[in-house]
Structure 1
Amino acid sequence: MAGPTGTYGGRSAQERRAERRERFLRAALDQFGDRPGYRSASVAALCEAAGLSTRQFYEEFRNLEEVLAQLHLLVNDWTEQAVVQALTGAAGLAFDQRMATVLRAYVTAATADPRRLRIAFVEIIGVSEELERQRLVRRSRWVELIVTEAEAAAARGEVAPRDYRIAATAFIGAVNGLLHDWTAGQFQASLDQVVDELAALLRGAVRPPDRD
């Protein structure tokens, strides 16, 4: 018999563990992102959906919260990759055009799969202090992106220089709320309408009206 670091069926122990972990995460995306939802899920049901044993589950995760935490990071990573690609493609564009391109990439990636959206904006809320810290850390990365882009635009003379952090934080909150309500069917709108509305909000955030 091969040792724990040997090969079996042409795959290493690390490759087999990675495959098991991926199967658990795929099953959890269905279980947490659709029905029954994270709060009604169980280890036994998740293992059955993944076609794996509870022993294998506890070899990979401490509990269901750790699975949710990993899914939340993955969902954010997928969206972030789409945004980074859009930023690269929008190099050299003016701030308004650049942000419109980024917003379209973000909205498209974030809402492409309702399960991912539910993980990011619904199931993660109120689970534990640890997951709340993780959520805020990942949210702060989106705030930093807006701040960085606004400051670069200010350096180019496209917008007035100022502290953009409050405006960026408020904008990200508005984005998350809008996407949640849109995908939940609270109002009817096309992708273009949602992107246009968010772009207008961002323009207003970085170019506030003059005060007397």
Structure 2
Amino acid sequence: MGRRDGEIKDGRSYGGLSKEQRVAQRQTRLIDAALELFGTQGYAATSIERLCAVANVSTRSFYEDMGSREALLIALVNRTTSRAVERTLAALEKTEDEPLSTRVVESFRAYLSVTCQDHRTARVCYVEVVGVSAAVEDWRRQQRRLLSALVVSEAERAVANGEIKPRRFDLFALAVLGAVNSLAQELVQRTHPDSVISPEEICEEIAVIVNSVLAQG
């Protein structure tokens, strides 16, 4: 008696959704709200109360489901970069028979097509995520290691195929990643206000860098 539609006796289901499904829906709304707010007004300027209002989630549910604003930021960039890595792996598979320089550039083109999909994603992934906290910096290091490992693996594959000579590829990978990050940050926060940078132009510069480095080897 008095039980709401779709709710079972143990309280785990309401409106046809389990507790886990309801939590997942709230988390998705919070991540979507974070993309909009962090990507427009910035992480530091966005309060938990504002996030909850946009996501239509109570502050109590926010702390229960997400834990902190910092954790929400990590969840947002994780969602974006996971999709970007999936796109990158697909690009590497598609260019399997191409030279290393082509494979590296096309993989970053695929990655940037997600992380720089619009100004909000670029701002979050390359600007707002920098210097937030030790936990977020640890996430950034893990992401850098992941992408670096992909570049090193491709370079070692090219060595095995006789395409290039052996060298220290970990530094090569970090140099390329650093260039991508710097150019993406410039895309968001332009040094010269009248100079607009596109993801495609970033890829063109990366191609120059990669080809120059590989030509020396």
TM-score, normalised on structure 1? 0.90
Seen in structure 2, the aligned counterparts of structure 1 residues 208 and 63 have a Cα distance that, compared at 3 Å, is same
Match of 1:41 among 35, 38, 46: 46
Q: Deviations over 1:38-69 (max 9, x none)?
A: 11111111111111211111111221111111
Identity of aligned residues (%): 32
Q: State whether residues 148 and 174 of structure 2, in contact with CA within 8 Å, keep that contact through their aligned partners in structure 1.
A: yes
Q: Could you tell me which residue of structure 2 aligns to residue 75 of structure 1?
A: 80
* Superposed displacement of residue 144, structure 1: 1.0
| 1:65 matched residue in structure 2 | 70
Residue equivalent to 2:211: 203
| Paired letter, 2:171 | I
Aligned to 2:91: 86
1:3 and 1:54, CA in 2 relative to 1: closer, same or farther beyond 3 A?
Answer: farther
Which of 140-149 and 87-96 deviates more? Answer: 87-96
Work out the CA distance in 1 between the residues paired with 2:199 and 2:169.
27
Change (3 A) 1:39 1:188: closer
**Deviation of 1:107 (Å):** 2.5
Structure 1 segment 74-153 matched on structure 2, within 5 A: 74-153=79-158
Q: Give the Å deviation of 1:192.
A: 4.0
Q: 1:98: how far off?
A: 2.1
TM-aligned CA deviation for residue 173 of structure 1: 0.4
SS at match of 1:167: helix
**2:21 is equivalent to residue 22 of structure 1:** no
> Distance between the aligned counterparts of 1:46 and 1:116, measured in 2?
17
Closer/same/farther in 2, CA of residues 57 and 192 from structure 1, 3 Å limit: closer
CA distance in 1: counterparts of 2:214 and 2:19, whole angstroms:
51
Residue ranges of structure 1 left out of the alignment (5+ in a row):
none
TM-superposed CA distance for 1:136, in Å, is: 1.0
Q: TM-score, normalised to structure 2's length?
A: 0.88
- 1:192/1:123 Cα in 2 relative to 1: closer, same or farther (>3 Å)? closer
Q: CA deviation at 1:24?
A: 0.8
RMSD: 1.8
Structure 2 vs 1, CA of residues 193 and 67 (structure 1 numbering), >3 Å: closer, same or farther? closer
